[in-house]
Amino acid sequence: MLRILVVHGPNLNLLGTREPSIYGADNLDQINQRLRTRAQAGGAELVAFQSNTEGILVDRLQEAGRDGTGFVIINPGAYTHTSVAMRDALSAVKIPFIEVHLSNVFARESFRHHSYFTDIAVGMVCGLGAKGYELALEYALQAGERS
Ligand code: DQA
C-alpha cells in the first residue's frame, strides 16, 4: 500500500484564521481530513504532519526515509525560501515529492519567488488554495499505481 506523507511547515497550523484572503478559510484539520478520505478511497495511506520548527521537520523527513513513505506532499511555508536543511533532508531520503503553496508566491513579495525545493521536486502547485494539495494527491495516487 502506498504511504503518502503530507508535511505542513510553520504557521500552517493557523490556517482558517491566518490571512484568509490569502490562504483561504479551511483549517488544517479540514484539509487533512479531505486528503485522508481521498487517499483511503484510492487505496493509499496518508499521514499528515505539521511543525513550526525546522529541525523537527527535518527529523520527520528523515523518518519518512525509514518508515516506508513512498511519496511526500510538502508545503514548507516560509522555510520554502530559507531552508537548505529541509532540502538536504529530501535529497537524502530520495522520496519523490510535490511542493504545494496555497497562495501564488510569484504574485507576492520578491523574497517568496525563490524556493529551495522546486528544482528537486517532481513538480510544484501554487495559487490554487487547498485544492493544490488535492491535485498533488491525485498525482501521487496515480504515480503509486504505476510503481
Ligand atoms: C506559503 C507561501 C509562503 O511564502 C509563506 O511563507 C507561507 C505559506 C503558501 O502556502 O502560500 O507560510 O507556503
1 Cα to the center of ligand 1, angstroms: 31
Residue 77 in contact with ligand 1 by CB distance below 6 A: yes
Question: Can 23 be counted among the known catalytic residues?
Answer: yes
Looking at the CA of residue 126, tell me the nearest atom of ligand 1.
Answer: 11
> Percent of the chain having pLDDT more than 70?
99
pTM: 0.97
Q: Please give the pLDDT value at position 24.
A: 85
pLDDT in tens, 15-47: 999 888 888 889 999 999 999 999 999 999 999
Q: Which of 30, 129, 21 is nearest to 75 (CA)?
A: 129
Q: Does the beta carbon of 115 lie inside 6 Å of ligand 1?
A: no
Predicted confidence at residue 22, as pLDDT, reads 86
Report pLDDT for 103. Answer: 97
- CA 68, CA 86: separation in Å to the nearest integer? 19
Residue nearest to atom 7 of ligand 1 (CA): 77
Q: pLDDT value at position 145?
A: 77
- 87-98 pLDDT per residue, tens: 999 999 999 999
Ligand 1 near 125 CB (within 6 A) = no
